[in-house]
């Protein structure tokens, strides 16, 4: 069987950017929101938060 | 403060404050939310206060005073909070104390003392007294002083109304930790029940059919976080209209027998209204119900029965109206009925079996309808708001007021949400068929708040070789999947008759169209090549979208070393 065609260097190739997001209001309710707010207020990423 | 050595545990409750009924709930030490009954044994406590002599009556007791003492009984006052007299609709308060104009907005004039001097009570003051009674019931039940509460309000409550409510509660001695929205509380009551740390991504419609109004909301639930996409309200549709249908039915029966209309006398009507509500509730549980009122009108007693079928017929128009509201709110959210994964029926009127079955028929069979009539594991629709509020109260009980203030601030709640679903399409070497090829696997649905990340595992290839992973933005489309003609010809016998009446073939075809929602590739964002994947090995893909829309993909063979990682920078950079 033929391999997929891959004329690019390395294993990764960018074609486009993500579409502009819409700004909406999250409901400040529930455990997952509170975790989100905590990360946002302390400027932490997911992996940093996981370690704590 | 406390003389014990233990860390001070705060006692917090959730309050659902309704126009017709209110309820209180707490979260037990094992994390389950439970609704508290007041001293009369009611879990749905009527939002009614009544004054007789020097006594104040509350809840069901006050509600029964609507018959003998309507002028000193205050009901349906929540929606008047923070409104000007000109803006309120006093219809529901017609059979109790009438709202009057006051410098603060709306007030009531009642005799609350035996001396007969009427006093003017503002809506805020009534709210304070009502919350005080609720708080006392909770405190008696739990045997502890209540330190704080979370209260639910409808989504159309203004900031000023929320603030007034918090002040009214504080005046009763009960600190409001947070005011949250009713549909969100109902959704939380359900999601908190799922025993997983990663709740499924889904789009939920919460339909709250109350006593005097019906509210519908479409909510995106993504990674356990909720975003309201659309809301709609009907202020003339609720349990009262269902009661009216029964009132009219029984009145006609009474007129036939006794030539007197019980609706023409205020007291007779109040009696009939109270009993019809009870009859309606019975019809939600059994297929027939009795009604029995002593000395209804003209000195005549009234006894009758009604079955559920008759009630469904009487209320058909109202159920149609509910269906119309649902269709309208889904459209407002820019969605199709088939995009709704779950419908949560909330509010007392949601006990009506016919409503649940009509909603179930409206949606595809894959949509879960959470109501007692359609799902035996559904929660009690009347208790959802209070449970959600109790859960939220227990989550923030130990927070400082400043922490809550900061966490609920718009700077934190206003968040970018993905405009399009993001997924991957996995292509593997030729000749490798019968897999996920060319199908979009959606990782992050539209309306997901960022930052967000999701991980999924695929069978990479059935023959071995390189695996091409395309990260794409997708779109959902309605596609005509009407079965081809030849399939239809099998039912030609049935069609024959139709053809005679109806010569226009095209029109007939249109009626039989089957529309399916499918996910298709809109644009390819990036490609990643994972080399030398052996036959049958699993590939794990993780997508992470940061707050600035930077997308990172990590793909590796499960159990293998290395793998690939790539980053698409956000536009801002």
How far apart, in whole angstroms, are the C-alpha atoms of residue B483 and residue B327?
A: 26
Higher pLDDT, residue B193 or B303:
B303
- Residue A49 is predicted with a pLDDT of 66
Q: To the nearest whole number, what is the mean pLDDT of chain B?
A: 89
Cα-trace Rg, chain A = 19
Chain B: nearest CA to A38, how far in angstroms? 8
Q: What average pLDDT does this structure show over B318-344? A: 96
The dihedrals phi and psi of B92, each to the nearest 5 degrees, come to -70, -25
* SS3 state of residue B456: strand
What percent of chain B shows pLDDT beyond 90?
73
B197-237+317-379 classified as CATH 3.30.420.40: yes
How far apart, in whole angstroms, are the C-alpha atoms of residue B105 and residue B124?
A: 10
Q: Which of A14-18, B15-19, B246-250 has the lowest mean pLDDT?
A: A14-18
* Closest among B238, B239, B231, B236 to B328, alpha carbons compared: B231
Instruction: Tell me whether residues A22 and B525 touch, CB distance under 8 A.
Output: no
Tell me the H-state helices in B89-158: 123-142
| CB within 8 Å of B377: residues ≥ 6 apart | none
pLDDT for B101-119, tens place per residue? 999 899 999 998 877 789 9
How far apart, in whole angstroms, are the C-alpha atoms of residue B513 and residue B482?
A: 5
pLDDT at B501 exceeding the cut of 80: no
**pLDDT range class, residue A3, cuts 50, 70, 90:** low
Tell me the H-state helices in B197-303: 239-258, 266-285
pLDDT at B498 exceeding the cut of 80: no
- Residue B98 is predicted with a pLDDT of 96
**pLDDT range class, residue B282, cuts 50, 70, 90:** very high
Sign of the alpha-carbon dihedral angle for B96, B155, B162, B43: positive
How far apart, in whole angstroms, are the C-alpha atoms of residue B256 and residue B493?
A: 50
A-chain residue closest to B556, CA distance: A11
What percent of chain A shows pLDDT beyond 70?
79
> In A, residues 1-52, which contact B (CB 8 Å cutoff)?
1-4, 6, 8, 11-34, 36-41, 45-46
DSSP run (H or E) holding B411: helix B410-413
Tell me the H-state helices in B80-181: 123-142, 159-171
Identical fold, B12-173+387-412 and B197-237+317-379: yes
How far apart, in whole angstroms, are the C-alpha atoms of residue B223 and residue B166?
A: 30
Q: What average pLDDT does this structure show over B350-362? A: 96
Q: Which residues pair with B458 in a beta bridge?
A: B539
pLDDT for A22-34, tens place per residue? 999 999 999 999 9
A-chain residue closest to B412, CA distance: A37
- Residue B482 is predicted with a pLDDT of 77
For strands B342-346 and B202-209, give the pairing: parallel
| CATH class (in words) of the domain with range B12-173+387-412 | alpha beta
- Cβ contact B88:B32 at 8 Å: no
Q: Which of B41-50, B302-311, B425-434 has the lowest mean pLDDT?
A: B425-434
Instruction: Tell me whether residues B417 and A22 touch, CB distance under 8 A.
Output: yes
Domain range annotation of chain B: 12-173+387-412, 197-237+317-379, 239-313, 417-481+513-568
- Residue B485 is predicted with a pLDDT of 66
Q: What are the strands of the beta sheet with B564-568, ordered from one edge? A: B452-459, B538-545, B551-557, B564-568
pLDDT at B353 exceeding the cut of 80: yes
pLDDT at B497 exceeding the cut of 60: no
Pick the CATH number of B417-481+513-568 from 2.60.40.420, 2.60.34.10, 2.60.120.1440, 3.40.50.2300: 2.60.34.10
Which residues from A are below 8 Å from B527, CB to CB? 8, 12-13, 15
Q: What average pLDDT does this structure show over B25-33? A: 91
B379 burial type by CB count under 10 A (0-12 exposed, 13-18 middle, 19+ buried): buried
pLDDT at A4 exceeding the cut of 80: no
Which residues from B are below 8 Å from A13, CB to CB? 526-528, 566
- Cβ contact B558:B540 at 8 Å: yes
Instruction: Tell me whether residues A14 and B188 touch, CB distance under 8 A.
Output: no
Nearest to A28 among B408, B531, B549 (CB): B408
How far apart, in whole angstroms, are the C-alpha atoms of residue B86 and residue B105?
A: 9
Chain B: nearest CA to A52, how far in angstroms? 17
Chain A: nearest CA to B115, how far in angstroms? 48
Which residues from A are below 8 Å from B228, CB to CB? 25, 27
Instruction: Tell me whether residues A32 and B395 touch, CB distance under 8 A.
Output: no
Higher pLDDT, residue B438 or B318:
B318
pLDDT for B516-561, tens place per residue? 888 889 999 999 988 888 888 889 999 999 999 999 999 998 887 7
pLDDT at B431 exceeding the cut of 70: no
The ipTM estimated for the assembled molecules is 0.88
**pLDDT range class, residue B500, cuts 50, 70, 90:** very low
DSSP run (H or E) holding B530: strand B515-533
Give me the torsion for CA of B99, B102, B107, B113, rounded to 10°.
Answer: -120
For strands B48-52 and B73-75, give the pairing: antiparallel
- Residue B466 is predicted with a pLDDT of 84
Nearest to A21 among B466, B527, B549 (CB): B549
Instruction: Tell me whether residues B413 and A18 touch, CB distance under 8 A.
Output: no
Nearest to A29 among B188, B414, B428 (CB): B188
**pLDDT range class, residue B447, cuts 50, 70, 90:** very high
Q: Which of A1-15, B207-221, B346-360 has the lowest mean pLDDT?
A: A1-15
Q: Identify how many contiguous H helices and E strands chain B contains and give both numbers.
A: 15, 28
How far apart, in whole angstroms, are the C-alpha atoms of residue B388 and residue B380?
A: 12
Tell me the H-state helices in B13-98: 59-68
Identify the residue among A10, A13, A17 best suited for mutation to test binding to B, counting B beta carbons within 10 A and taking the highest: A17
pLDDT for B31-88, tens place per residue? 899 999 999 999 999 999 999 988 999 999 999 999 999 999 999 999 999 999 999 9
Higher pLDDT, residue A10 or B187:
B187
pLDDT at B507 exceeding the cut of 50: no
Please name the CATH architecture into which domain B239-313 falls: Alpha-Beta Complex (3.90)
* Closest among B384, B407, B398, B385 to B12, alpha carbons compared: B398
- Residue B436 is predicted with a pLDDT of 44
């Amino acid at each position: 069987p033929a391999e997929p065609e891959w004329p690019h260097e390395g294993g990764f190739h960018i074609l486009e950017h993500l579409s502009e997001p819409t700004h909406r209001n999250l409901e400040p309710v529930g455990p997952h929101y509170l975790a989100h707010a905590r990360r946002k207020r302390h400027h932490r990423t997911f992996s940093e938060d996981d370690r704590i | 403060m406390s003389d014990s050595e233990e860390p001070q545990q705060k006692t917090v409750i959730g309050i659902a404050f309704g126009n017709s009924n209110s309820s209180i709930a707490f979260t037990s030490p094992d994390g389950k939310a439970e609704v508290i009954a007041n001293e009369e044994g009611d879990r749905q406590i009527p939002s009614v206060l009544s004054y007789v002599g020097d006594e104040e009556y509350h809840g069901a007791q006050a509600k029964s005073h609507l018959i003998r003492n309507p002028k000193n009984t205050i009901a349906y006052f929540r929606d008047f909070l923070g409104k000007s007299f000109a803006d309120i609709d006093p219809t529901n308060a017609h059979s109790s104390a009438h709202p009057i104009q006051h410098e603060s907005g709306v007030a009531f004039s009642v005799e609350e003392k035996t001396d007969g001097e009427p006093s003017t009570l503002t809506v805020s003051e009534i709210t304070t007294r009502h919350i005080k009674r609720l708080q006392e019931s909770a405190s008696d039940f739990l045997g502890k002083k209540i330190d704080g509460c979370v209260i639910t309000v409808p989504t159309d409550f203004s900031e000023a109304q929320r603030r007034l409510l918090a002040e009214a509660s504080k005046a009763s001695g009960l600190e409001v930790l947070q005011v949250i929205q009713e549909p969100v509380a109902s959704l939380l009551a359900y999601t908190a029940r799922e025993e997983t740390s990663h709740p499924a991504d889904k789009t939920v419609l919460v339909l709250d059919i109350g006593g005097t109004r019906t509210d519908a909301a479409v909510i995106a639930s993504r990674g356990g976080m909720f975003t309201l996409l659309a809301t709609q309200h009907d202020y003339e549709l609720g349990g009262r209209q269902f009661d009216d249908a029964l009132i009219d039915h029984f009145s006609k029966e009474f007129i036939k027998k006794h030539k007197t209309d019980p609706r023409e006398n205020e007291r007779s009507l109040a009696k009939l209204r109270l009993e019809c509500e009870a009859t309606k509730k019975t019809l939600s549980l059994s297929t027939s119900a009795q009604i029995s009122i002593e000395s209804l009108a003209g000195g005549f007693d009234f006894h009758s029965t009604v079955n559920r079928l008759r009630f469904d017929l009487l209320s058909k128009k109202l159920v149609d109206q509910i269906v119309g509201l649902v269709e309208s709110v889904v459209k407002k959210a820019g969605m199709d009925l088939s995009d709704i994964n779950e419908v949560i029926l909330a509010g007392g009127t949601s006990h009506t079996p016919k409503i649940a079955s009509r909603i179930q028929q409206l949606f595809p069979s894959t949509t879960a309808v959470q109501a007692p009539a359609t799902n035996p594991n559904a929660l009690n629709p009347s208790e959802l708001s209070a449970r959600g509020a109790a859960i939220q109260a227990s989550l923030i009980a130990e927070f400082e007021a400043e922490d809550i203030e900061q966490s609920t601030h718009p700077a934190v709640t206003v968040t970018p949400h993905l405009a399009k679903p993001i997924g991957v399409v996995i292509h593997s070497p030729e000749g490798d068929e019968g897999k996920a090829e060319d199908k979009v696997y959606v990782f992050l649905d539209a309306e997901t708040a960022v930052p967000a990340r999701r991980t999924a595992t695929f069978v990479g290839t059935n023959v071995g070789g390189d695996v091409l992973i395309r990260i794409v933005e997708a779109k959902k489309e309605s596609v005509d999947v009407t079965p081809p003609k030849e399939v239809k010809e099998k039912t030609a016998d049935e069609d024959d008759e139709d053809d005679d009446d109806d010569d226009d073939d095209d029109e007939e075809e249109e009626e039989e169209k089957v529309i399916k929602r499918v996910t298709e590739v809109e644009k390819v964002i990036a490609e990643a090549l994972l080399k030398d994947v052996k036959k049958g090995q699993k590939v794990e893909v993780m997508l992470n979208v940061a707050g600035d829309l930077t997308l990172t993909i990590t793909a590796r063979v499960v159990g293998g070393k290395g793998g690939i990682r790539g980053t698409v920078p956000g536009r801002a950079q």
